[in-house]
Amino acid sequence: MADTAKKKRTLWNFFDGFEGDKVVWMIALLLMLVSVLCMFSSTSRLLTGGQSRIDVVKEQLILVAAGIGIIILIYNIRNLGVIRWLSKFGFIISLILLAILDLRLDMGFIRSVEINGARRILRVGPVQVHVFEVVKVAMIMYLAWAMDALKREKLKWGANEMQKKVIYIYAPFVVSFLMILPGSNSAAIVIGGMMFITILIGGGNLRDLAVLLAAGVLLVGIVLGLYFVSHGKVFGRLETGINRIVSPVDYEKQARESRVGSADYYEAIDRIRQPYSAKIAIHEGLIPKGPGQSTQRYVVPDISEDYMYSFIIEEYGILGGIFVLMLYISLLARGSLIVRNCGTELFPKLAVAGLTMLIVLQAFLHMFVNVDIGPMTGQTLPLVSHGTSAFLCFCVAFGIILSVSRYASRKIRREQLQSAPLVEREEIKEDLDALDSFETDGSDEALQDEFEDLNDL
């Protein structure tokens, strides 16, 4: 009988053996499927040498397989304490990577690489690592550990709570923000904002957060002072942000008023080509062109990265865009449900909340840029846009979310088994016996008499 009671393993009940939140599993797999479809037809820039689009799809499938392997590996970490222990090294890892990047070190096997006037990449042998993508996940996990350790009084350095906050929370926040700033203004703002939200969710009081904001404003002032005093030699990337705020150039007007073929004309065209072409792609997506039929992919160089959402709408229409949008909204809903199921334990709640907000808010930022709401930030569409480092880092994030959801579901089942029943079985039996006696002990005659009385009325 025991053998017959076991379910036969089939394709339909394959996922029954998976613990944790199955909706999050499906969201991750669907986003990966969208990435494979988009890589096949997005841009010819992905083709190198004699490659065909089939080769690009093969590479993306290998990346997807590696990402699924990472998710399964982290998901199978049954002891949440292991993830908590690893998270405390998040700041150290971020600090080392950012130091190599900012100091422009070349250690042979690992070296800092400058691309388009910015340093965001480390080349580790033949592999390029986008440092900021690693820092996003690492710092959120570190802050989740630090806030949890502060609550449980596990932090060693510092005589009182405020000193511990400064050493373990606020100082890492400020240091990482300042070290990201030379490579990318937008990345510093996005990562700094996510760290601030994580601290806020973790229980940072308004007074401490006000002090942190004041310290941030002071540091930004010092950075700007160093930039102007050094005539742009220190924190040179600030020039782009300052020009966008102080003296924004109307490149559309410049293109209209410049002589066709002049240097000013081509400069203006180059500046507006990507955002305008992305809007054209979205406009033409009202009637989907179908897979492989995009025309703007030949105009927008970064359509497989910074403008992936506009490409999806152009080829798959507004319904395709809504489908992708709903996946991220569903992830936000499931993440909030997992957080609620974690009970009073702070680390899993902060880890899931921070990582979910990171994925969803970055997706929204990407979409806003694609529809020309706000300045270009260079944020990719999580688990869809081209980019090995970003893809694998988001797989780590999904793996942690699923591991915590598995822990939360086990915790709920354990509490259900340990909880006392609301009603004892003896009481239920007594109630059933009373009901049975009511039905058989002349109650039918009483009901008949009452019915006859009503008829007489």
Q: Give yes or no for a contact between 346 and 339, defined as CB atoms under 8 angstroms apart.
A: no
Percentage of the chain beyond pLDDT 90 is 28
* Out of 20-24, 116-120, 161-165, 451-455, least confident range: 451-455
**42 near 294, Cβ under 8 Å?**
yes
Strand partners, 111: 106, 123
Question: Among 392, 393, 380, 388, which residue's Cα sits nearest to residue 311?
Answer: 380
Can you give the pLDDT at residue 1? 43
Is pLDDT larger for residue 257 or for residue 112? 112
12-70: pLDDT as tens digits: 555 566 677 889 999 999 999 999 888 877 665 665 666 666 777 788 899 999 999 99
Nearest-5° Cα angle at 181, 176 to 185: 130
> How confident is the model at residue 4, as a pLDDT?
45
pLDDT score, position 5: 46
Stretch 256-262: mean pLDDT, rounded? 64
Confidence of residue 336 (pLDDT cuts 50, 70, 90): very high
Residue 382: what pLDDT?
A: 93
pLDDT digits (tens, 9 = 90+) for 167-191: 999 899 989 988 888 777 778 888 8
Distance CA 258, CA 254 (A): 6
pLDDT: which is higher, 365 or 226: 365
On the question of pLDDT at 192 being above 60, the answer is: yes
What whole-number distance in Å separates Cα of residue 368 and Cα of residue 362?
10
Helix (H) or strand (E) holding 128: strand 127-130
Q: What are the sequence ranges of the domains in the chain?
A: 19-418
With b for 16 or more beta-carbon neighbours within 10 A and e for fewer, the 261-288 pattern comes to: eeeebeebbeeeebbbbbbbbbebbeeb
pTM to 2 decimal places: 0.80
Helix (H) or strand (E) holding 44: none
Least confident span in 233-247, 254-268, 348-362, 370-384: 233-247
Cβ neighbours of residue 363 closer than 8 Å, sequence gap 6 or more: 328, 381, 382
Average pLDDT of the chain, as a whole number: 78
Q: What is the pLDDT of residues 295-314, one digit of tens each?
A: 666 566 666 777 788 888 88
